Chain A
Amino acid sequence: MDGLFYTLQTAQDTYFNVLVGILRYGAPVLAFILLLRCLKPLLTFRREPEIWAWLCLEDGTKLPITHWENVIGRSKRSDIVIDAPTVSRSHGVLTRYDDGSWTVTDSDSSNGVLVNGKKVKIWALDPKDVITIGGVNMRLEPISQKQEQKLAQLRTKGSSFFTSLLNLLILTVYQALCCLAYLMNGSQETAQSVLIGFAGIAVMEWLLLLFYVCIHRTSFEVETIAFFLCTMGMAAVAAVVPREAIKQLIAMALGVATFLLVGWSLRDLERAKKIRYLAGVAGVGFLLITLVFGKEYYGAKNWLEIGSFSLQPSELSKVCFVFMGASTMDRLMKKRNLILFIAYSVVLCGCLALMNDFGTALIFFCAFLVIAYLRSGSVGTVALAITALAFAGVVALRIAPHALRRFASWRHIWEMPLEGGYQQTRALMCMASGGLFGLGAGRGWMQYVFAADSDVVIATISEEWGLTIALFLIFAIIGLALFVVRAAAVGRSSFYTIGGCTAACIMLVQVMLNVLGTVDIVPLTGVTFPFLSNGGSSMICAWGLLAFIKATDTRQNASFAVRLHKTGGAVNE
């Protein structure tokens, strides 16, 4: 009997060796193909200008209006430039709504906006209304229903259903191989958990695609990238804490639910603007609750325990913060709103400082900088903010020895491999051991290092799957960020663009702190890698942020976060 077991074991060893031998090169190739297929349409889609209305001046010139939100002003960088000394630099905003109606808003201009001779703050426009801006009279002429239909037909289509299907098939094969490798090299007791973990992701992604088909959306690139990252996250879980695979799967399900919920709330801009206030309150609320009832782990008081369930509310606050930071153009042009937002940010960062959560505070701060810059365009404001942070940082370091210790080991990890540099030295050792193609599933030593599935997860992946895959994971996030920048040019509303940029910024900063912290380029701050790190709150947050990125997608039939357009052929909702 023993002999038989031994034979089986050795046979399995041989098969496993062969599988690892194949996967070392197979996994990067599959991942590369998958990422290329997903990122290429995201980064190269055609961005043709869409004309939504004409602005007719008295002298007969017709200015095309190419966005849903348009700044009228003297400044050369306005969407509609009227070069007259009586016109303010940013004078007013023309806004289009989902139903095709338009408003004009005064942006605290010196001479005001007049409609039919009357000074207005905001006015729902009729085609006959005469708008006077700095003494210049004009009339807005929206395009006809027919023209609008034509426009919708011309708009770049999202990827076809079959493209999405093929992408998902590739991903499923990848997941199956991953799962097989961990099953073969794992213990019997955890096999079930690992199997459910990987299979669960596959089921979830196919269900989501099915749901998309039902609502006539076909573009699935952003989601596929997220599921790819989740798969590698599951691999880290299988390597480090295979028992938690199901827990992580549940977190993913909650994440996808959050993604759909946030996406739904973003669909209707008016609804999103209302939810924004709710999100704002929730954002501060989460942090305050943590401050009062939170548990302190490893120096940071950022955990909330409800029964046997623990969560990091600061992660959820990130999504709320993106909501708060986003804003439509008409509001954006008013100083008061920026000041309110700054006050809000200060409260949030103050809470985080009290919680001693240095990493999250830094993420919020970077997000704040990006929002502040997007809103104001002022480099000076941002520089001022950075200076303020530097001062605050110095003061914080003086009084928080915990944070100081982290800085003490930075770039000196080899001098203190048993203290401050423990995780990083092991991470570098393991990454070097893994080389470009990894040692194989479950064959790493990183699993014995603290936080191998979260704070230093990139080393775990790198050791077992190779630096190539680790690099692809980083490129996946970078790809999402570049997509947001590209989509900004044809953005409908600044609400989406700011939201998308902030979400991408948060992801980028998290990746930066996580990866570069692990390899000792920056101090290790214990920040999670979006989708990859094990942890429910972080997973939910990542999916919530992804909804904002998805919402910037204006391609035809691409995003559920954008309403379908009443077109001849397309289905009406």
Chain B
Amino acid sequence: MNRIASRAMVLFLLVLLLLGGFVFFLAEYLVKADDWVIFPGSPHVYTGGNIGCGVVVDKDGALLLDLNEGRRYSNLLPLRQSTVHWVGDRYGSISAPSLSYYAAEMAGFDVINGVYNYGQTGGVAELTLSAKAQMAALEAMGSYKGTVAVYNYKTGQLLCAVTTPTYDPDNVPSFTEEDEAYKGLYVNRFTQSSYIPGSIFKIVTLAAALETDPDIVNKTFVCRGEYKIGNEEITCEGAHWEQTLKQAFCNSCNCAFAEIALQLGADTLTEYVEKFGITKQVSFDGITTAKGNFQIQSNADLNLAWASIGQHLDLVNPCAFMTFMGAIANDGKGSTPYLVEEIAINGNRTYDAKRNSGDRIMSKETAAILQAYMQNNVTVKYGADNFPGLTVGAKTGTGEVEGKKPNAMLAGFVDNEELPLAFMVCVEDAGYGKTVCIPIISKVLTAVRESMD
């Protein structure tokens, strides 16, 4: 019997195996439960593809969407239209990646209580967006297609980001695929599009030049209306004659920038484009933006010259370029935009945005010169009276698109301690940046400013 009794210990082995396996599971549970709980098949969290519980409000508490029981949107038509690309529609045609991203926090998940909460209503997600600014931006965009966005470059809060065309999720229009007016209706252009930048790319070339050779500010450039590269040429709309770097930037002189680009060389310019994060994807709150593009075909000088002024194969994503503006405005070190400020359930905060500051991408000196030059553009060219009471620096662009009117582009910032705003305007099939974009951003900045008071 003694032998059998000691051999009975073999059961310990099984017990250990069982316990070991279960402890392994518990470890997995601790680490991965928040992923499991937001598994797309979970009826606790989703209804019909989009997150199905919780409430979404703007930065001032205005209701954008109540996800409980069939998605109730705001009762303001322009607010529904201007935010549907952020909060999603009823049928999953427009997804809301950032709401799904915080599904666990919205459902109130924690490893102790699971998704249990009294009454099961879910949390309140406060976005950084301002409802007033959204509506003003939608109105300012009018019938144009494109996007306009403003963010706080000190904190990263995305205060306004509207994409057009849009529609009312409570009253879905019927349209066909070919319908030009509805092309790209479901796309959030701010995060998912890439535009030919045109002259706003000169900011990048200028920044690269200043970083490589700070003495370039003392150089002068002579523009005869054309700049020969081999048998081909880069042209301006007229000759600018002799000009300083500042003037060349203000004139948006293609010839001068072609010259600068050739001095920099393709490798150096590519290196800085990368360093400035112009073509990089920006990630925040479960959103990853579209990639930009910068490459110089067959390494030809002509292609390099075109690329340096935002043509050739250049593509930029509005969000990424706006982030670049933020870095310039914030003395060379910007912050990544974000959309979700905080999530709370019954007053208990389940998520709080981490204010991140990005890496330094250029020297303070370069940033200062860029700020001054861009502000100079506004005073000299665009009209400071468009921005009453604000010091604004900006650069317009005209992205030439084959077979269409050019894209009107505008990128810039407000130099103000209380209003640290960077902005980006892209308007498709529109014309000149100055005539189209300046009035839009003027209205939007006014609305944002009001919302911040």
Chain-A contact segment, one of B39-47, B354-362, B405-413: B39-47
Interface members, chain B 1-40 (any A CB < 8 Å): 1-12, 14-15, 17-19, 21-22, 24-25, 28-29, 33-34, 36-37, 39-40
Q: Is A140 an interface residue (CB 8 A)?
A: no
Give CA–CA (A384, B246) in the complex, Å: 86
Interface pair A437/B118, CB less than 8 Å apart = no
Q: Interface on chain B toward A: helix, strand, loop, or mixed SS?
A: helix
Contact A488 B8 (CB under 8 A): yes
Q: Please tell me if the beta carbons of A509 and B14 are within 8 angstroms of each other in the complex.
A: yes
* Residue A237 at the chain B interface, CB threshold 8 Å: no
Type the 1/0 row for A339-381, where 1 means its CB is closer than 8 Å to any CB of B.
0000000000000000000000000001000100110010000
Task: Assess the A494–B1 pair: CB atoms within 8 A.
Answer: yes
Stretch at the interface among A123-131, A205-213, A510-518: A510-518
- Residue of A77, A426, A431, A509 near B2 (CB, 8 A) is A77
* Contact partners of B119 in chain A: CB under 8 A: 17
Contact call A432/B41, Cβ cutoff below 8 A: no
Residue numbers in A under 8 Å from B36 (CB-CB) = 425, 428-429, 431-432
Q: Let me know if B14 and A438 touch, CB within 8 A.
A: no
Q: Which of B3, B11, B41, B107 contacts A417 (CB 8 A)?
A: B41
Asked if A19 is at the interface (CB within 8 A of a chain B CB), the reply is no
Query: In the docked arrangement, what's the CA distance between A18 and B392, Å?
Result: 58
Tell me if B42 and A445 are in contact (CB < 8 A): yes
A1-31 CB mask vs B (1 if < 8 Å, else 0) is: 0000000000000000100010010000000
B112 within 8 A of A: yes
Q: Judging by beta carbons under 8 Å apart, are A374 and B116 in contact?
A: no
| Known contacts A373-B7, A377-B3, A478-B19; is-contact A429 B118 (Cβ 8 Å) | no
Q: Which of A66-74, A97-105, A534-542 contacts B (4 or more CB under 8 A)?
A: A66-74
Question: Given A370-B11, A437-B113, A439-B116 in contact, is the A432-B29 Cβ separation under 8 Å?
Answer: yes
Interface centre among A69, A466, A467 (most CB of B within 10 A): A467
B110 at the interface (CB under 8 A from A): yes
Q: Which of A435, A508, A511, A522 contacts B112, CB < 8 Å?
A: A435
A466 to B33 Cα, complex, angstroms? 14
Task: Give the contacting residue for A432; candidates B6, B24, B33; CB below 8 A.
Answer: B33
Cβ contact within 8 Å between B5 and A433: no
Contact of B14 among A24, A426, A489, A512 (CB under 8 A): A512
Q: Is A57 an interface residue (CB 8 A)?
A: no
Are A429 and B42 in contact, CB atoms less than 8 angstroms apart? yes
**Cα-based distance from A431 to B30 in the complex (angstroms):** 12
Alpha-carbon separation in the docked complex, A288 to B39 (Å): 44
**For B9, what are the chain A residues with a Cβ–Cβ distance below 8 Å?**
485
B2 adjacent to A417 (CB under 8 Å): no
Q: How far does the alpha carbon of A488 sit from the alpha carbon of B3 in the complex, in Å? A: 10
Q: Residue A287 at the B interface, CB < 8 A?
A: no
> Is the CB of A291 closer than 8 A to any CB of chain B?
no
- Pairwise interchain contact A431-B115, C-beta atoms closer than 8 A: no
A24 nearest in chain B by CB position: B116
Are A425 and B41 in contact (CB-based, < 8 A)? yes
Given A429-B37, A431-B36, A445-B43, A482 and B15 touching (CB < 8 A)?
A: yes
Report if B111 contacts A (CB, 8 A): yes
Q: B29 near A431 (CB under 8 angstroms)?
A: yes
Which of B4, B14, B15, B119 is packed against the most chain A CB atoms within 10 Å? B4
**Nearest Cβ distance between residue A26 and chain B, in whole angstroms?**
14
Across the interface, name the chain B residue whose C-beta is closest to A490: B5
Which A residues are in CB contact (< 8 Å) with B43?
A: 445
Q: Is the CB of A501 within 8 A of B8?
A: yes
Contact A521-B39, Cβ < 8 Å, known A377-B3, A512-B14? no
Closest to A471 in B: B22
Residues of B within 8 A of A497 (CB): 1, 4-5, 8
Cα(A100)–Cα(B42), bound, Å: 65
Q: Taking the complex as formed, is A142 at the interface, i.e. its CB lies under 8 A from any CB of chain B?
A: no
- State whether A432 and B116 are in contact (beta carbons under 8 Å apart), knowing that A77-B3, A485-B8, A494-B4 are contacts in the complex: no
B9's nearest neighbour on chain A, judged by CB, is A485
Instruction: Judge if B373 is at the interface, Cβ distance under 8 Å.
Output: no
- Bound: A65/B11 CA distance, A: 26
Q: B114 at the A/B interface (Cβ < 8 Å)? A: yes
B6 close to A77 (CB less than 8 A):
yes
Question: A34 at the A/B interface (Cβ < 8 Å)?
Answer: no
Could you tell me the distance between the alpha carbons of A516 and B12 in the complex, rounded to whole angstroms?
Answer: 18
Given contacts A377-B7, A494-B4, is CB(A516)–CB(B21) below 8 Å?
Answer: yes
CB B21 to nearest CB in A, in angstroms, measures: 4
The interface on chain A, measured as residues whose beta carbon lies within 8 A of the other chain's beta carbons, has a size of 63
- Size of interface on B: residues with Cβ below 8 Å to A: 44
Which residue of the partner chain, among A432, A436, A440, A512, contacts B17 with CB atoms under 8 Å?
Answer: A512
Q: Which one of B25, B33, B39 lies within 8 Å of A516 (CB-CB)?
A: B25
What's the nearest-Cβ distance from chain A to residue B388, in Å? 54
Cβ of A523 < 8 Å from any Cβ of B? Answer: no
- Which residues of A are found within 8 Å of B25, using beta-carbon distances? 515-516, 519, 521
Q: How far is the CB of A369 from chain B (nearest CB, A)?
A: 8
> Could you tell me the distance between the alpha carbons of A489 and B4 in the complex, rounded to whole angstroms?
8
> When A435-B116, A511-B18, A522-B21 are in contact, do A484 and B11 touch as well, CB less than 8 Å?
yes
- A512 near B116 with CB under 8 A, answer no
Contacts of B110 in A (CB 8 A): 435
Q: Is B109 an interface residue (CB 8 A)?
A: yes
A79 touches B (CB below 8 Å): yes
Q: Which residues of B contact A149 (CB under 8 A)?
A: none
Tell me, yes or no, whether A177 is within 8 Å of chain B by CB.
no
Contact status A17-B118, CB under 8 Å = yes
In this complex, which of A17, A79, A373, A512 has the most chain B Cβ atoms within 10 angstroms of its Cβ? A512
Scan B106-137; emit 1 where CB is below 8 A from any A CB, else 0: 01011111111011000000000000000000
Known contacts being A417-B39, A431-B36, A484-B11, is A436 close to B4, with CB within 8 Å?
no
**What's the least CB distance linking B148 to chain A, in Å?**
39
**Would you call A504 an interface residue if the criterion is a C-beta within 8 Å of the partner chain's C-beta atoms?**
yes
Interface contacts beyond A24-B116, A432-B33, A501-B10: sample of 18 additional A-B pairs, CB < 8 Å, sorted by A: A67-B2, A79-B2, A329-B1, A429-B39, A429-B44, A432-B37, A432-B109, A437-B116, A445-B42, A478-B19, A489-B5, A515-B25, A516-B18, A516-B21, A516-B22, A519-B28, A521-B21, A522-B21
Interface residues of A (CB under 8 A from B): 17, 21, 24, 67-71, 77-79, 329, 366, 370, 373-374, 377, 414, 417, 425-426, 428-440, 445, 463, 466-467, 471, 474, 478, 481-482, 484-485, 488-489, 491, 494, 497-498, 501, 504-505, 508-509, 511-512, 515-516, 519, 521-522
Q: List 19 A-B contacts (CB under 8 A).
A: A21-B118, A329-B4, A366-B14, A370-B10, A374-B10, A428-B39, A433-B42, A433-B114, A435-B110, A437-B112, A437-B113, A439-B116, A445-B43, A488-B8, A491-B4, A494-B1, A497-B5, A508-B18, A519-B28
Chain B residues within CB distance 8 Å of chain A: 1-12, 14-15, 17-19, 21-22, 24-25, 28-29, 33-34, 36-37, 39-44, 107, 109-116, 118-119
